[in-house]
Amino acid sequence: MPDRICEFDPKSITEVDDYVGVLQELAQVTQGEFVPESLRAEERVGDKVVLEFLHAGKAIRFQFTQEGRWVADGFYEQLRKFCKKHLSGSYLSVGTDWATEVYLPHKVIGQIQKKTRTFDSVEALVQFVVEGASQSDMFTAWERLPWQLKAGYTRDGDSLMTALLKSEADTDRCLSAYETHETPLLPSRYGESPLELAQRLRGVNPRVLIGEPSATLGYVEIRQKWSQRLWHSYLPEYLRIVDALEADLSSMRFSEAGNLYGIAMCHAPLLNCGSEVAQVHYYEYNGAYTLNLLTQGPGGGALHRQLPCDQVDTVIDLLRRYCRRTLWTTPGQDGAWLVAQE
């Protein structure tokens, strides 16, 4: 690996001839595969740089714009296009204070980029899965996603799962995304349920994804269980929420198996995570609450947020509104469904 690494000062261009030296340094780490000859660089009108050389007897020309003393982005773009067409490998940029380029086979670079890829939209996430991301690739990608993308929507109003289920991605890949994503039950902005779409478009039984509804207990019964030592974890954080909502929780139902590693509740006799549930988890490692609220059907909505621990009052307020059935009151706001356009 050391012989494949090229390091140089990225702010080294005082005159266009300096690109001759930069290209020669980069060529040296290809182990003789790339030996540019007859190199010359000249400046053209409008800060244009033309860098010419011979490779295997063929004339090659890079043309790009130079601004300031930094090695131009256009130079790197031209270099990678050249590598893709003429060499067995290319250069992988490594983030350091210096310009650090590692010459690696195209396949290796592709594998690295696939596992370290960043995303700026839900559309990009959908394409990532459609193009063949493995479950391991998805795990790695989801870990680095900002919350706005984990619970985000496409321009058409689809969540990641509703968009995937409507896409050409094969069903196994969709199921892998479901198993690895943090908000797999997030409906579209028009109230389309991933579970309903999975059944209608893919023939997948929703129970395969979420299991059977679980039995519930009333507040008095679950509070008694929470008082037992083996039925709790972060008591101060969760009990702060429970105590603040005690009057509202009296009408709610809680999973029979639920403990204070998180709070999960609903209005119905059975807890069904695919149709109606309110969940909150406190994660000590990042000092934040993760809130998931879902009500399927007319007048329903979905809300998925991550809130720092100093915003616990917001968590309490949202849960209180959920308990009182006043959360989904304004279409398009607070996660309530948007009205589909005709």
Residues 15-46 as b/e (b if ≥16 CB within 10 A, e otherwise) read ebeebeebbeebbebbeeebebeebebeeeee
- 39 in Cβ contact with 51 (< 8 Å): yes
At 105, the pLDDT band (50, 70, 90 cuts) reads very high
The tokens for 8 are 């140089």
The model's pTM: 0.66
216-230 confidence digits (pLDDT tens): 999 999 988 887 756
**CA angle at residue 214 from 209 to 216, to 5 degrees?**
150
187-204 confidence digits (pLDDT tens): 998 889 999 999 999 999
Select the more confidently predicted residue: 59 or 67. 59
Provide the 3-class DSSP secondary structure of residue 188. Answer: coil
d(CA 157, CA 177) in angstroms, rounded, equals 18
pLDDT score of 342: 43
At residue 340, does pLDDT exceed 70? no
Q: Put the strands of the sheet holding 5-8 in their side by side order.
A: 5-8, 99-105, 89-95
Q: For 147-178, what is the HEC assignment?
A: HHHHCCCCCCCCCHHHHHHHCCCCHHHHHHHH
- 222 in Cβ contact with 264 (< 8 Å): no
Would you kindly state where each structural domain of the chain is located, as residue ranges?
2-112, 117-210, 214-323
Residue of 90, 62, 89, 67 lying closest to 78 (CA atoms): 62
Which CA distances in Å does 262 have to 238, 239, 318?
Answer: 7, 11, 16
Q: Which residues pair with 102 in a beta bridge?
A: 5, 92
Kind plus residue range of the DSSP H or E element containing 103: strand 99-105
Q: Which residues contact 229 (CB under 8 A, 6 or more apart)?
A: none
Q: Which residues pair with 118 in a beta bridge?
A: none
Provide the 3-class DSSP secondary structure of residue 194. Answer: helix
At residue 341, does pLDDT exceed 60? no
Compute the average pLDDT of residues 230-235. 60
